[in-house]
Amino acid sequence: MDEEYDYAKLKDAGKAAYEALEYSRKVVKPGMTLLEIADILEKRIIEKGFELAFPVNLSVNENAAHYTPHASDATRVAEKDIIKVDLGARKDEYLSDCAITIGLGESTSKMIEASEEALENAISLVRAGRQVNEIGREIGKVAEKHGFRPIRNLGGHGVGRDDLHSGVFIPNFDNGDTTMLEEGEVIAIEPFITDGEGMVRDGELLQIFQKTMDATPRQNDLRAVSEFIDSRYRTYPFALRWLQKEFPRIGEFGIRRTLNELATRGALESFPVLVERKGGMVAQSEKEVIVEKEGCYIVTR
């Protein structure tokens, strides 16, 4: 175990995220807009005294990940949608990450159950010395047992201080990676299961960004946006709609000019919505855990 790592803060962040995640079951209803849902869940985390680890993701149907609503998003939840709710809380530099899938129709209930079973089985395998491909093998086996496919180019990840995706990658199938988990390591396990091809592609929507290095635009109005990102979000992911609330005068066009300049200078990473390549429905389940000698501690519970 890392003696300098404040696991108590991590557990606090995990509890806050899990509470908001469970609350989403009451919030996600037909007729609600995705923007309303995101605002409610983000506000709930903040009102508990935490920062957001990243914008709430509400990825519907064939969208697997990285869909967060834009400022004027009028998309409403439909009767038979399958919605991935992925969120996290931050306490200082300690980050939590968890997800569930809410199905509003019966047609995807078996897929959701398969993703949940895959997650629980994967968690039962976690311990120091476990090879990550063994975890992936179990996720893939559960998916295929129920007649679905794991998404092969998505998976879980290590979670570091100030870094939501660091270190080890946890595959959703046996990718042959024999990297061993280490005691004290923090990982997020997130099976993605589909009735489609089992691969995702980049979609057109681009609403989540992350500044990766220092860079300042030359124009004053653009510089103000960049300096706000530095002071408020630092190197944590943020949503375009958050900046639109802060800079209504500059507007979306001016904000995107700022982001484009930062990206051109190599100082910004973007996260396009990820879409199942053949348009298949996608279910996701995710929990964050601390690797222990003989098992693991579930952080997001």
Residues with catalytic annotation? Answer: 86, 97, 157, 165, 190, 286
Q: How far is Cα 78 from Cα 9, in angstroms, rounded to an integer?
A: 38
Q: Which of 19, 86, 88, 41 is nearest to 285 (CA)?
A: 86
**What DSSP letter does each residue of 26-91 carry, written as one string?**
HH--TT-BHHHHHHHHHHHHHHTT-EESSPPEEEETTEEE-----TT---B--TT-EEEEEE-EEE
β-pairing, 238-239 vs 200-211, is antiparallel
Q: How far is Cα 47 from Cα 228, in angstroms, rounded to an integer?
A: 22
- 20 touches 45 (CB < 8 A): yes
Q: How far is Cα 77 from Cα 118, in angstroms, rounded to an integer?
A: 26
DSSP state of 180: B
Q: How far is Cα 66 from Cα 201, in angstroms, rounded to an integer?
A: 12
